[in-house]
Amino acid sequence: MKHYLLATLLFAYTATATAQDIFKGYINIEDADSTIAVNLMYAKPDNFVGEKMYNFTEAYLHSHAAEALKRASRLLRTTHPHLRLIIYDAARPMHVQQKMWNKVKGTPQQNYVSNPANGGGLHNYGLAVDISIIDNNGDTLPMGTTVDALTPLSHIDKEQELVRKGKISPEAARNRALLRTIMKKAGFRPLRSEWWHFNYTTRANARANYKAIP
């Protein structure tokens, strides 16, 4: 009975809590830098899970990652005044991570979702972003695949080979390189298998020194 009550309360909290409650103490990116566009892929059903996962549309980050993102945005606008960043995913609460894990568990997609039982991933700490670049018209630059395309074409370690084989265009490879350059200069680390994903720190450091968002 006690457990039932607790589960009911938790469900009521996660179903009704506003983004401001869930992300208290975290930075809303649109407030931090209004030039950064936000279009959260899990706030719409058009994502690899095939279902709307978020009941919020704002991108939040831990202040350390938010400061680094502001640096990246400034670097991009200084060197390429007609371009700006667009965020597709940022902080993801653990209760949503659990919901995603339950969806993909036992399917081929399970390799792409961090298991909450193992502490989740850096999105759960507000320390990772899924990000791309848009131009003056709001059009995304060609990157060779869409964001969250779970295919070898999204890998960043063999891009020249992908270009040689005609799998991605030279322009896409250059755009990915530009994104990586500014993100790395700002303090982020790229991920081998996803050109759009950047971590602010290591998983070990996140677990030791930061708190996951419930």
Would you tell me how many other CB atoms lie within 10 Å of the CB of residue 134? 17
Looking at the Cβ atoms of 95 and 197, the one nearer to Zn ion is: 197
Closest CA to 189 of 72, 44, 21: 72
Helices 63-79 and 170-186, axial angle in degrees (round to 10): 130
* Beta carbon of residue 137, minimum distance to Zn ion (angstroms, whole number): 25
Residue 148 engages Zn ion in binding (rule: CB under 5 A): no
Site map 101..130 versus Zn ion, x via CB under 5 A: -----------------------------x
Task: Please name which of 71, 83, 78 lies closest in space to residue 37, comparing C-alpha atoms.
Answer: 83
In whole angstroms, how close is the CB of 88 to Zn ion at the nearest point?
8
Q: By the 8 A CB rule, do 124 and 114 touch?
A: yes
User: Residues 55-94 vs Zn ion: string with x where CB under 5 A?
Assistant: ----------------------------------------
Least distance (Å) from Zn ion to the CB of residue 3? Answer: 33
Given a contact cutoff of 8 angstroms between Cβ atoms, the answer to whether 38 and 73 are in contact is: no
Shortest Å, Cβ 34 to Zn ion: 23
